[in-house]
Homo-oligomer: A and B are copies of this chain.
Amino acid sequence: MSHPTAWPALTGIAYGGDYNPEQWPRDVWREDVRRMREAGVSLVSIGIFSWALIERSEGEFDFGWLDEVIGLLHENGVSVDLGTPTASPPAWFFAAHPEARVIARDGTVMGFGSRGMASHSSPAYREAIVRIATALAERYGDHPAVVLWHVHNEYGVPVGEDYSPASVGAFREWLKDRYGSLDALNAAWGTAFWGQRYAEWAHIGAPAAAPSVVNPAQRLDFHRFTDHQLRACFVAERDAIRAHAAQPITTNFMANQSWTTDLWAWGREVDVVSDDHYLWAADEDAHIGLAIAADLSRSVGGGRPWILMEHSTSAVNWQPRNIAKRPGEMARNSLSHVARGADAVLFFQWRAARSGAEKFHSAMLPHAGTDSRVWREVVGLGDALGRLGDLRGTEVEADVAILWDFESFWAQDLEWRPTDDLSHQERVRAFYERLWRDGITADFALPGHDLSRYRLVIAPAQYLLTAADAESLTRYVAGGGTLVVSYFSAVVDENDAVHPGGFLSPLREALGVDVEEHLPLRAGAAASVTWRDGASLRAGHWQEALRLHGAEVVGSYADGPGVETAHRAAITRSRLGAGTGWYVSTRLDADGLRTVMADVYADAGLTPAATPEGLEVVRRRSAERSFVIAVNHRDEDAELAATGHELLTGVDADGTFSVPAGGVAVIEIGTTSGGDR
């Protein structure tokens, strides 16, 4: 089951980070490579913001300094992930092509001096990115140091949407492709509402600022279009590189941190998934958000190992309060990513920048230099990863799938939903966190995927669900699966139009219930549920009036408007064929969700892990070998049941292993230090 490592031609877990030698004089370059060797760095990403230094004016290239840097790295055994610098065109580009600037929704023209300024629909920009990508690939396509291509940077961040004339024109063409006829577009967008019918293609614009809410189907299509344009730029660069280079090509995603790109589609275009992940500092359990990002990165890549392209050694610089990582936290974060399928641990960035917008972002080599906690931990992590080479190429296995559908999220986030308290992120996190605390590893999936290999599928926020996808989920249940659907799901179709049969009607067969009316609550109102054993579960923000079509009521509203509905039904369970469909119509708190999920697990034949809460345990395996990675987020040591060889300490575990407070253990199951496996 181990994957061929088509991607970076390296052994073991790759280690390193973004490297920006153009910010430093040459004597610092020499110190850099010496320190990279000291830290065990094997891979650095370069050139990501170097356009102005490579193409000094249009068509005039200067590769000298880049040749020198790559040569120096190569001599020192550090491989190169070579970036295309297209996230930040040079000043001369915008001076020559002012029409290529992004225009914001309110008409503000986005100026130079930051990054991400170019319209992805601009012909001039499209031409320029192919030119620079081609030039780089021609020169470095067969350089032995270059093992990977890094196209652009974080597509969709800081801006994706563009209301420039070029974008509007491209949007019309995209709509012609999608709909074929104006009648089809008018039907899909429901333009009979508010008198918006289009009689000419030329009359259609981007959904710019307007006196009131703009057509939601138009806005949803503009999300799709924006994603398409970004991806078209990636594909153009990728193909330009491929014409001259054989190395794998990637671009860095921002899974669980940006929602502007449909990573399922992007996952099909890259040779290997790579991801940037930064802790959300206000969240004291930010490592759970990290786990979501890692599982999502793995899932959009079809389960194959992936590259953690960027994370931070300590604080970032762009949050309201940028909390430094505590001692040991960087290593725990890194190994959580590895546990969930990363075969590379890279940072932004190698050396802290003295100037610019991100000077307060931490780095492997901080402003404080090598006499620092951060540097010592960086060296220690390099050493630890060196002991984990055998993990490379192994797979993470999961019995549960959580639905994660960008189109649905885009649609749900449009204006004028029933209450501001709806949040797909909140519910995905709530269900994921329940699994995380129960020691159950999950994949993410689309509703249209083949889900039959999962014991349990959870739909925390599937607001948009097409009829075809609803059929897919229904087949999953009928085939013996356990499905849990949370409220405000299956509300609209692909055009953000309410399903003809009403809310939830596409899943009526699978769940035995549908929704008569949404019952959002006033701020602070309680909405408790009486569970079938009489226990009271706390909930809030949302209730629904349910109509039963065969489901049994397992939880009933004890207060809130749901009390006045026909059956007081809050949580239902229904059998279909060999499977079970659960529906949860309110926002349960963590304890309430624990109660419900315990019964769901029983239906699905799942058993929560017996590990102490806060000890994160994930398994990776190949056809022959099996590893347990245990990350202890607790302030005290935790016992792990395992027999085998612990790779970081070299100590054998004989049935149990004590993972130190704040530490990590990686045990190859069934082996001993004798070395026989």
| Interface positions of A (Cβ within 8 A of B) | 20, 22-23, 49-53, 56-57, 85, 87-92, 94-95, 102, 104, 106-117, 158-159, 189-200, 202-205, 207-218, 281-282, 284, 314-315, 317-318, 320-324, 326-327, 352-360, 366-369, 371-374, 415-421, 492, 495-498, 500, 502-503, 514-523, 545, 547, 561, 564-566
Ranked nearest first, the 7 interchain pairs of A and B with the lowest CB-CB distance are: A190-B355, A193-B356, A114-B210, A88-B195, A91-B203, A49-B195, A158-B212
Q: What's the Cα separation between A391 and B211 when bound, in Å?
A: 40
Residue of B nearest to A57 (CB): B199
| Beta-carbon contact of B360 and A417 below 8 Å | yes
Which residues of chain B come closer than 8 Å to A356, judged between CB atoms?
190, 193-194, 215-217
Contacts A216-B357, A416-B317, A497-B359 given; indicate if A22 touches B192 (C-beta within 8 A).
yes
> Within 8 Å CB of A282, what residues of B?
522-523
In terms of DSSP, what is the predominant structure of the interface of chain A?
loop
Which residues of B are found within 8 Å of A323, using beta-carbon distances?
A: 520-522, 561
Which of B107, B116, B318 is A211 in contact with, Cβ under 8 Å?
B116
Query: Which residue among A200, A204, A416, A419 has the maximum number of chain B CB atoms within 10 Å of its CB?
Result: A416
Using A418-B360, A503-B367 as known contacts, say yes or no to A354 and B111 having CB atoms under 8 A apart.
no
A143 CB to closest chain B CB, in angstroms? 22
Assess A368 versus B517: contact at CB under 8 Å? Given A282-B522, A417-B360.
yes
Q: Is the CB of B215 within 8 A of A320?
A: no
Question: In whole Å, how far is A207's beta carbon from the nearest beta carbon of chain B?
Answer: 5
A selection of 19 A-B contacts at a CB cut-off of 8 Å is: A20-B193, A49-B192, A56-B199, A106-B108, A111-B205, A112-B196, A112-B210, A114-B211, A116-B212, A117-B210, A194-B356, A212-B357, A321-B419, A321-B520, A322-B418, A352-B498, A366-B517, A368-B502, A373-B565
For A111, give the chain B residue with the smallest CB separation.
B208
**Residues of chain B lying within 8 A (CB to CB) of residue A357:** 193-194, 212-216, 415-416
Selected from B195, B200, B498, the residue in CB contact (under 8 A) with A50 is B195
Out of B207, B216, B522, B564, name the residue touching A326 (CB < 8 Å).
B564
Q: How many angstroms from the CA of A491 to the CA of B323 in the assembled complex?
A: 18
Tell me if A113 and B416 are in contact (CB < 8 A): no
- B502–A354 contact, CB under 8 A? no
Distance A664 CA – B202 CA, assembled complex (angstroms): 55
Please, which residues of chain B bring their CB within 8 A of the CB of A369? 502
In the bound complex, how far is the Cα of B356 from the Cα of A198, in angstroms?
15
Determine whether the beta carbon of A373 is less than 8 Å from that of B545: yes
A368 and B503 in contact (CB under 8 A), knowing A208-B111, A317-B418, A420-B321? yes
Q: When the two chains form the complex, which single residue of B114, B191, B204, B366 contacts A213, counting CB atoms closer than 8 Å?
A: B114
How far apart are A486's CB and chain B's nearest CB, in angstroms? Answer: 18
Chain B residues whose C-beta falls within 8 Å of the C-beta of A317 in the assembled complex: 416-418
A114 contact set on B, CB distance < 8 A = 194, 210-215
**Which partner residue on chain B sits nearest A51 by CB separation?**
B195
Report if A196-B52 is in contact (Cβ < 8 Å); known contacts: A114-B215, A214-B113, A498-B367. yes
Chain B residues with CB under 8 A of A192: 20, 22-23, 49, 53, 355
**Contact partner, A358, options B20, B204, B416, Cβ 8 Å:** B416
Task: Given A92-B203, A354-B497, decide whether A360 and B211 contact each other with a Cβ distance below 8 A.
Answer: no
* A327 proximity list for chain B (CB < 8 A): 564
Residues of B within 8 A of A215 (CB): 113-114, 356-357
Question: Is the pair B23, A190 in contact by a Cβ cutoff of 8 Å?
Answer: yes
How far does the Cβ of A654 sit from chain B's closest Cβ, in whole Å?
A: 33
Most buried by B among A106, A199, A500: A199
A358–B213 Cα distance when bound, in Å, is 9
Closest B residue to A566 by beta carbon equals B373
How far apart are the CA atoms of A514 and B547 in the complex, in Å? Answer: 64
* Contact indicator B522/A199 (Cβ below 8 Å): no
Contacts of A90 in B (CB 8 A): 195, 197, 199
Which residue from chain B places its CB closest to the CB of A95 in the assembled complex?
Answer: B203
Q: Are B190 and A354 in contact (CB under 8 A)?
A: yes
Q: Closest approach, in angstroms, between the C-beta of A53 and any C-beta of chain B? A: 6
In the complex, the answer to whether B355 meets A205 with C-beta atoms within 8 Å is no
Residues of B within 8 A of A372 (CB): 516-517
- Which residues of the other chain, B, contact A503 by a CB distance below 8 angstroms? 367-368
- Shortest Cβ distance from A602 into chain B, in angstroms? 32
**A565 surroundings in chain B (CB, below 8 A):** 373
Cβ–Cβ < 8 Å partners of A415 in chain B? 357
* Extra inter-chain contacts (6) besides given A282-B523, A373-B516, CB under 8 Å: A49-B193, A92-B199, A159-B212, A193-B358, A322-B418, A366-B516
Interface centre among A23, A198, A202, A203 (most CB of B within 10 A): A203
The answer to whether A324 touches B113, judged by C-beta atoms less than 8 angstroms apart, is no
Interface centre among A106, A518, A547 (most CB of B within 10 A): A518
Chain B residues lying within 8 Å of A203, measured Cβ to Cβ, are 91-92, 94-95, 112
